[in-house]
Amino acid sequence: MRTAIYPGSFDPITKGHLDVLERAANIFDKVIIVVSVNVNKKSFIPLEDKLELIKESCSNIKNVQVDSYDGLTIEYAKQHNANVLIRGLRAVSDFEYEMQLSQANNALCPDIHTVFLITKPKYNFISSGTVREIAYMKGDISKFVPEPVAKYMKLKYTKG
């Protein structure tokens, strides 16, 4: 079985993330979307909410699992017998960082490969940071995120 790990903060998950996830799910037998937990970073959406939103957003993709991890992604991949890490690219500016990350992972474990999937052009400009800013300012994010996320963010940022 070919298992791939799709790691990220997904804070929140966007339609661009789902685009990459859907294509990865068509290539691999199983894709585990792993929410990276970084104790040094403050998450916009609490972990449990984030995991539930991701599950709801990708419930139509049968070979996807959702999990979280607070260590090195490469160690998580080893523990789950995955030999591929999925990384999404939106623009050329993403490539340098992703290439460095891929090379570091390769130095740690040469048996685990990184596969880059480029988002569709209509999603190139969408980032979680942009979505957070629009939501915080009470703007409409429904064009950029799956429906469960749009509903969650609307409830969270239109109170009071």
C-alpha–C-alpha distance, residues 6 and 64, integer Å: 10
Cis check: omega of the bond before 12, within 30 degrees of 0: yes
Among candidate residues 2, 41, 120, 122, the one labeled active-site is 41
**80 carries an active-site annotation:** no
Q: Which residues contact 11 (CB under 8 A, 6 or more apart)?
A: 43, 44, 45, 50, 128, 132
Residue at 129: amino acid letter: G
**36 carries an active-site annotation:** no
Among candidate residues 36, 57, 102, 128, the one labeled active-site is 128
**17 carries an active-site annotation:** yes
Among candidate residues 50, 57, 90, 102, the one labeled active-site is 90
C-alpha–C-alpha distance, residues 86 and 142, integer Å: 25
Check if the beta carbon of residue 135 is closer than 8 Å to that of residue 141. yes
**59 carries an active-site annotation:** no
Among candidate residues 17, 57, 87, 102, the one labeled active-site is 17
- CA distances 155 to 21, 33, 149, Å, are 26, 25, 10
Strand pairing partners for 65?
32
Tell me the two tokens of residue 6. 């799709």
Active site residues: 17, 41, 90, 128
